[in-house]
A = this chain, B = another copy of it.
């Protein structure tokens, strides 16, 4: 690695922000949240360390600036939610598997899970991100009673699938074809989205 400490970029240089974000994105992805430091990000970006906090505040805020979901909910959710309401579970399940089967999608999802488990500050950032970008829009799309709770139950199964199949890789789940796995979890997601969730109490 070539270390360019303090290359002479000044505050306000148009490239400074981008260089910091690129370095942060790379280090958070490669090292995880707790082993990434503002100082090493500055060194890789070739800027003075004070500029990193000048532009981005804390490490937590820097993480928030670069963390991304593995897809764009605003584009995807309307398509998934349109059409037959009794088949949303199947559409969501197929979509989740397609994201997790793609290399980029899987590596982002694993990055999110790794960061969330490593430190409470990172978990908080990820909670804010998925609540704002995913759970609230999904709940609005569902539009039924208790929609936010339903959305969070859906998320629990999808995250659990990512853990079990791709991170821990338990068998035979890890080697089953994606279409079969989508078939298996589709009724689960449908249940969370449209069923009565506490039938024997109602």
Q: Which residues of A contact B (CB under 8 A)?
A: 32, 110, 113-114, 116-118, 123, 126-127, 130-131, 135, 148-149, 152-153, 155-161, 163-165, 167-173, 176, 180, 183-185, 187-188, 191-192, 195, 197-201
Contacts and interface: CB of A to CB of B under 8 A. Distances in A.
11 contacts: A32-B118, A113-B163, A127-B168, A127-B169, A152-B170, A153-B173, A160-B160, A180-B198, A183-B199, A184-B198, A187-B191
A188 B131 CA distance: 23
B164 A183 contact: no
Given A152-B172, A188-B192, 8 more contacts: A32-B118, A117-B163, A118-B118, A123-B169, A148-B172, A152-B164, A158-B160, A159-B160
| A contact face: mostly helix, strand, loop, or mixed | helix
Contacts of A161: 156, 160
Nearest to A165: B156
Contact of A168 (B114, B123, B191): B123
A164 B134 CA distance: 13
Given A187-B195, A195-B187, A197-B180, A163 B171 contact: no
B110 A168 contact: no
A183 B156 contact: no
- Lowest 6 CB-CB distances: which A-B pairs, in order? A160-B160, A152-B173, A156-B164, A156-B160, A183-B198, A184-B197
Contacts of A159: 160, 163-164, 168
B198 A192 contact: no
Given A130-B168, A167-B117, A198-B180, A173 B187 contact: no
Given A161-B156, A187-B195, A117 B123 contact: no
A146 B90 CA distance: 21
Contacts of A180: 197-198
